[in-house]
Amino acid sequence: MTIPREAAVEMLDRAVANFWSLTTQETPNMRRFMEATHGI
């Protein structure tokens, strides 16, 4: 099965947002993902 990149990015965005909402913390991997996909 192949998942389109856009769908994978959307799923990871939701996971990052959920993790942030629960912990108000950011991991190095979360930061790298946000920088790579959104330039943030």
12-32 per-position pLDDT tens digit: 999 999 999 999 999 999 999
Could you tell me the residue ranges of all domains in the chain?
A: 5-38
* The pLDDT of residue 13: 96
* The pLDDT of residue 29: 96
* The pLDDT of residue 7: 97
- Model's pTM, two decimal places? 0.81
Averaged pLDDT for residues 30-39: 94
Give residue 24's region: left, alpha or beta (phi > 0; psi -120 to 50).
left
Cβ burial 5-30 (10 Å sphere, 16+ → b, else e): eeeeeeeeeeebeeeeeeeeeeeeee
